[in-house]
Chain A
Amino acid sequence: MTPRSLLSFVRWYVREITGEAEYDRYLERHRAHASTPPLSRREYERLRIDRRDADPGARCC
């Protein structure tokens, strides 16, 4: 692995694990399925994080 590809892997990994890449994926999906304009990033992130109100996800000991 070259330093460059390592760097791009790390960038990809951090974006995935923090959920930053989710909005891009949402746009991709949206384009494929719907004709209405997609949610803005602000609206989307709001919905995404508020879902955790109902499902906070357990953290172990």
Chain B
Amino acid sequence: MSRIRPAGAKATPRSIFLWTAVAAVGAVAWGVLALSRGEKISAIWLVAAALGSYAIAYRFYSRFIARRVLGVDDRRATPAERLDNGVDFQPTDRRVLFGHHFAAIAGAGPLVGPVLAAQMGYLPGTIWIIVGVILAGAVQDMVTLFFSMRRDGKSLGQMVREEMGPVGGAAALLAVFSIMIILLGVLALVVVNALASSPWGTFSIAMTIPIALFMGIYLRVLRPGRVMEASVIGVSLLLLAIAGGGWIEGSPLAGAFTLSPQTLVVCLVVYGFFASVLPVWLLLAPRDYLSTFMKVGTIGLLAVGVLVAAPHLRNEAVTSFAFNGDGPVFAGSLFPFVFITIACGALSGFHALIASGTTPKMIQKESQVRLIGYGAMLTESFVAIMALIAASALEPGLYYAMNAPAGLLGTTAESAAAAVGKLGFVITPDDLRAAAAAVEEQTVIGRSGGAPTLAVGISEILSGIFGGAGFKAFWYHFAIMFEALFILTTVDAGTRVGRFMLQDTLGNIWKPIGRVSWKPGLWGTSALVVLAWGYFLYSGVSDPLGGINQLFPLFGIANQLLAAIALTLCTTLLIKSGKLRWAWVTAVPLLWDVAVTLTASWQKVFHDDPKIGFFAQRARYADALAAGKVLPPAKNLDQMHTVVVNSTVDGVLAAMFALLVLLVIGNALVVCVRAVRAREPLPTAEAPYVESRIVAPSGLFSTAAERRAPAYAGAAEGPGAGAAGRGEEAQTP
């Protein structure tokens, strides 16, 4: 079978003209971003710079990686084709798989990180989101996906163990588990900060539980498998619940839904436990459908909003916090902390867990790793750009009044306005009260975590297009609901995944725990996982220094170190398979990532500024405590104790993450040196070559040559082609 060349492989005058135009648009937009200082620029320039750069990178760089570096081969059967069992191995249409993969990688991360990073100005965030995704994030996703696909969909941990050895494997496994716990704790903290003393938000989120239960029963008992019907019903009920929240807020029931952060922590931990031991069909699966629909819908809505409203950016291009490291939202200077904070959206290690596992088992053709791995990550990066726009369009005074630690701001509009004034920004107490009244919240002061800020930004943009100022409160709570909904889905699924890892590991010590069906083991391990992230959640809520301020850097470091593990694996595999000269493709982003992350870990552990270094902070508060003194923002000795304990734990964790990753990298170096010295390529765990019998398009759109091929399997290109699409695969023996 002849190799099908993708569309655009030959340079026609038309394509040369088109790509020159795209490059020109991107270059002009970058020029505007670079040269405008002092005047307020339109968000459209950010969008144009992003889309122009993505298009060029996808067309040229991802194609170079696919063909030259990886050597994708569409004559070779993918695991989906070879092992097709109709269950987890199934050749799936590339556009459908793109949807699944995007839904799995996109979450609250790309929305929250850029909002926090906006304290450094919009420019550093924009540059890192765009350049980072092109050279690092999308490359990691695509290359990991490719290598996992060549190994029948093995997970990241398995690949590290098989290709590097047991030491690296064990370190990687421990790193993945602890990173997951931190991730869940921080994400849950974002939800708690968004719902605390907000009866509207709490009510609508609480309603998602009965709605999901109803959908679960609907799909199980009433109309099995009718996901579309159930989702339409579910989404309608959800919108009703958001509208109903406004009514609850003004009713006598408001008190019952006005919860303190501490109460919310208990609710979330209890919810997390039950959600992870209940059968999947009852709660997790229907919630997953709901959150996916809301996610895709809201991201689409936001894109329309940003393009139509084209807000002006009120944020500065680069703020002074980028250099002096005194930012109230998170401490530390631009390098390395802006790269740590915008974790997802530019480079996210967590994606390597998705790209190895489910997706590679469903891919039809090797060349599709480009669309699914690289393309989906570009899309996620664009979500991050929109979040950055929403946050940067806000009045800076309001931004800092929402995101500085509560200990700094105090509780009244007057104290917050004064604190913001001290930071160098202007906002009046009346403005703060008006901002809270516009979204019908009791207060907007100290609502850190990124979600409320993003929700205010989204409500500004969307109410300008749909519904006017009277709809601000609705859109605000719509945005809160959408973020909380998929964070809860992540918490739910993450707790289960963590539990499986724990069961697996403990099962080596005592067999019964490893049995998935043994209930006491299941409950015990679930409780352990829930309590572990619950601990970080609680410490975040009770920390007088501000939980997000303390924990978000730790979460960012953890995620970036996971990326370092994935990129190390990719580089090792490139070298092992005799492609030393192309190893820079993953080695350069790896070096950058390691430089950033180890600098950040080093500063978090050893920096003598107590605002940055965890142990310096510990020493400062411990000394004061020994002298019986109370240091602000702590208000009493108990809070002093809290600070000492939290900074110790956080410091130890930051050091542990860095050591684990160094262990993996050290292990990889040994393997790489051995591979370079060996006369022949070292053996790898790659599955043997089997000739493929199906033809499917590699790009988003099929080409005429692909459609002419006798074994063409691209479905639904035209009317009525729907169900016939999979016909060809059924012939494989």
Chain A residues, Cβ within 8 Å of B88? 55
Chain B residues, Cβ within 8 Å of A61? 107-109, 183, 187, 343-344, 348, 350, 490, 559
The answer to whether A60 and B220 touch across the interface, beta carbons within 8 angstroms, is no
Instruction: Identify which of A24, A53, A56 contacts B497 (C-beta below 8 A).
Output: A56
Chain B residues, Cβ within 8 Å of A13? 95-96, 99, 716
The answer to whether B227 and A59 touch across the interface, beta carbons within 8 angstroms, is no
CA distance A21 to B220 in the complex (A): 16
Instruction: Identify which of A11, A22, A29, A59 contacts B722 (C-beta below 8 A).
Output: A11
Q: Is B400 an interface residue (CB 8 A)?
A: no
Tell me the minimal C-beta distance from A28 to chain B in angstroms.
6
Chain A residues, Cβ within 8 Å of B325? none
Known: A8-B716, A57-B104, A60-B107. A49 touches B281 (CB 8 A): yes
Q: Is B720 an interface residue (CB 8 A)?
A: yes
- Residue in A closest to B291 when the chains form the complex, CB atoms: A59
Q: Is B231 an interface residue (CB 8 A)?
A: yes
- Majority SS of interface residues in chain B? helix
- The residue among B86, B93, B489, B715 with the most chain A CB atoms within 10 A of its own CB is B86
Q: Is B70 an interface residue (CB 8 A)?
A: no
- The count of residues in chain B whose C-beta lies closer than 8 Å to any C-beta of chain A is 62
Number of A-B pairs, beta carbon distance below 8 Å: 133
CA distance A19 to B86 in the complex (A): 12
Chain B residues, Cβ within 8 Å of A51? 87
Instruction: Identify which of A8, A28, A46 contacts B730 (C-beta below 8 A).
Output: A28
- Interface positions, chain B 94-136, Cβ under 8 Å from A, are 95-96, 99-100, 104-109
Q: Is B699 an interface residue (CB 8 A)?
A: no
The stretch that binds A, out of B200-208, B313-321, B351-359, B627-635, is B351-359
- Residue in B closest to A26 when the chains form the complex, CB atoms: B86
- Residue in A closest to B282 when the chains form the complex, CB atoms: A49
Q: Is B280 an interface residue (CB 8 A)?
A: yes
The answer to whether A52 and B231 touch across the interface, beta carbons within 8 angstroms, is no
Chain A residues, Cβ within 8 Å of B715? 12, 16
Instruction: Identify which of B289, B350, B722 contacts A12 (C-beta below 8 A).
Output: B722
Chain A residues, Cβ within 8 Å of B225? 19-20, 22-23, 41, 44-45, 48
The answer to whether A18 and B348 touch across the interface, beta carbons within 8 angstroms, is no
Chain A residues, Cβ within 8 Å of B358? 57-58
The answer to whether B730 and A29 touch across the interface, beta carbons within 8 angstroms, is yes
Q: Is B673 an interface residue (CB 8 A)?
A: no
Instruction: Identify which of B104, B107, B231, B722 contacts A18 (C-beta below 8 A).
Output: B231
- The count of residues in chain A whose C-beta lies closer than 8 Å to any C-beta of chain B is 43
- Majority SS of interface residues in chain A? helix
- The residue among A12, A20, A21 with the most chain B CB atoms within 10 A of its own CB is A12
The answer to whether B280 and A5 touch across the interface, beta carbons within 8 angstroms, is no
Chain A residues, Cβ within 8 Å of B354? 58, 60
Instruction: Identify which of A8, A29, A56, A60 contacts B348 (C-beta below 8 A).
Output: A60
CA distance A8 to B285 in the complex (A): 26
The answer to whether B108 and A58 touch across the interface, beta carbons within 8 angstroms, is no
CA distance A11 to B494 in the complex (A): 31
CA distance A25 to B280 in the complex (A): 23
Chain B residues, Cβ within 8 Å of A60? 104-107, 109, 344, 348, 350-351, 353-354, 490
- Residue in A closest to B358 when the chains form the complex, CB atoms: A57
Q: Is B219 an interface residue (CB 8 A)?
A: yes
Q: Is B68 an interface residue (CB 8 A)?
A: no
Chain A residues, Cβ within 8 Å of B109? 60-61
The answer to whether A16 and B93 touch across the interface, beta carbons within 8 angstroms, is yes
Annotate B48-88 by CB proximity to A: 1 below 8 A, 0 otherwise: 00000000000000000000000000000000000000111
The answer to whether A45 and B86 touch across the interface, beta carbons within 8 angstroms, is no
The answer to whether B494 and A14 touch across the interface, beta carbons within 8 angstroms, is no
CA distance A41 to B225 in the complex (A): 7
Instruction: Identify which of A19, A44, A50 contacts B280 (C-beta below 8 A).
Output: A50
Chain A residues, Cβ within 8 Å of B357? 58
CA distance A16 to B456 in the complex (A): 35
Query: Can you list 27 residue pairs at the A/B interface with Cβ under 8 Å?
Result: A2-B719, A4-B719, A5-B719, A9-B716, A12-B716, A15-B228, A16-B93, A18-B227, A48-B225, A49-B219, A50-B279, A52-B284, A52-B285, A54-B516, A56-B280, A58-B104, A58-B354, A58-B358, A59-B288, A59-B489, A59-B494, A60-B104, A60-B105, A61-B108, A61-B109, A61-B343, A61-B344
Closest 9 CB pairs of A and B: A61-B109, A18-B227, A45-B225, A45-B224, A12-B716, A12-B722, A56-B496, A5-B719, A16-B96
Using A5-B718, A5-B719, A58-B494 as known contacts, list a sample of 12 further A-B pairs with CB atoms less than 8 Å apart, ordered by residue number in A. Answer: A13-B96, A16-B96, A16-B715, A45-B220, A45-B225, A50-B279, A51-B87, A59-B288, A59-B486, A59-B494, A61-B107, A61-B187
- B residues whose Cβ falls under 8 Å from a Cβ of A: 86-88, 92-93, 95-96, 99-100, 104-109, 183, 187, 219-220, 224-228, 231, 279-281, 284-285, 288-289, 343-344, 348, 350-351, 353-354, 357-358, 486, 489-490, 493-494, 496-497, 516, 559, 715-716, 718-723, 725-727, 730
